[in-house]
Structure 1
Amino acid sequence: MPERGILSSYDLKKPGTRIGYWLMVLVIFIMACAMIYPILVSFFNSLKTNVEVNSFPPRFLPADGWHWENFKTGWEYLELPLFLRNTMIIFVGNMVVTVVVLGLAAFSLSKLNVPKSRTIAMFFLITLFIPPTTYLIPNFLNLKDLGLLNSYAAFWLPAGASAFNLLLLKNFFDGLHHEMFEAARIDGASELRCFAQIAVPLSLPIISTLGIFVFSTAWNDWFWPSLVMHGDQTYPLATAIYKYVLQATRLDVNIRFAILFMVMLPPIAVFLAFQRYIMGGLSMGGVKG
């Protein structure tokens, strides 16, 4: 049975409500067009010749044929499989650290009798108001002193200090019934077993949501990898795009668009495939507790 919306058919009979409704629809439509337009521009420009891309006035659709071979040229220009592998290594490591380290921390604050747990949670909440750029240099210096530069640990270690992900997990754990864990403890289960066999399986929706956030960060971040990674073979995809595509002087513009469009597709596909978990996990993480 479909859920009832905020506005009913009776509400839409009122002139003021109907006008407000269509204004909201218009705003949403404009926002959708503003988001889709850059993707379409990248796609159609990637199918043009370099002369046509640089021509004025510009045309939205290709006029001199659709040059699909531009995608092959872009694939061969940039070692996409190599940089994609580096990105996935960063993502998998960040995800493991998020589930294990932040998951255990959130479980402890939510389900264990940790002294001053509310104060600790408030401390993590306060850190969300600190601009990330202010602790960029301290993080870099810490990793340098630990000898972790030019290694994937430079990404995995900071992933275990995400206050946003910690609070999102804690809010979800707060919504899980204490009786389940009490029954498991009576049966002799340890706290670690309660976390691994009860909390984690029940938290798959919020973990899926965090997976999208972690994937998006690993896929889009180019600045931090350019600071901590110093070898061409270790760059993630976004950094490689910045250094070898956006800053390239002899690369045709249509090939640049072809590479950029190919890089756009995986995040879009991931979101479309897991959008139900994203929206559901956000609502559960924000409402429960």
Structure 2
Amino acid sequence: MAIKAQDVKELREATGVGMMDCKKALVEADGDFDKAVEILRTKGQKVAAQRSDRDASEGAIVTATAADGSAGVIAEVNSETDFVARNQDFVDFAQSVADALLAARPASVDAAKASVQVDGQPLGDALTQMTGKIGEKIDVRRFEVVEAAAGGTVVDYIHPGSKLGVLVEMTGDGDLAEAGRDVAMQAAAMNPVAATRADVPQDVQDKELEIGREQARAEGKPDAILDKIAEGKLGRYFKDNVLVEQPFVKDSSQTVAQMLKGQGADLRRFVRFALGG
């Protein structure tokens, strides 16, 4: 039977699949719109199966925050190539995933794929459909939800290119949005290991102390002062790697902690995602 151009156009608008594939599906379905949709969905599942073992290491970091700043989510949505990662369909899909994760706040990626609704279907099915539509493996590698304490706010930042993003949880009585953006940009640029000294894992501190002792011992320092030298080196490590102790990138004459104090703000925690990190 003859397939009308308008039917092909409507199927493309409904599924996002290419015009030629839509026409072929309508021909196979004898013009039945719903059957054509199922044919395209099945094709998408076949493409997904064929590409399930592919390495999806490109993609984008995306964020979403509640309108009142009470919560935020950061996620890594992957594709096989950077070319696809810059495709508007992929960009829109990745953002819809972030929005859905924020709304549902699931416990894990597996739970999200089974239950989080994206475009009216479970995330796992949406990923399969997107894989069929784009022709590359599309996946969600990880995400994290941050919920603000009472009176606090969550601020997000995506570095140009969408390969790096940060969420920060801020408290205080100042302009938390402005202070939070400055802190998030600092975290993006300087890649700190923790927000405060107390957040640095003990095994990391122990390792730095041991490195300090060995360096001092190699320099011929007396055993009696090795611990003191190591503590000094650990202090310098904190200043380089703890976010609030780092020199503020916009004004290196003050630390991030000093900047925050002047802004009437305080940093509780941050989450930094780099693509593939």
TM-score by length of 2: 0.23
Which structure shows the bigger proportion of residues in helix conformation? 1
Higher relative contact order (CA 8 A, sep 6+): 1
TM-score by length of 1: 0.22
Which structure shows the bigger proportion of residues in strand conformation? 2
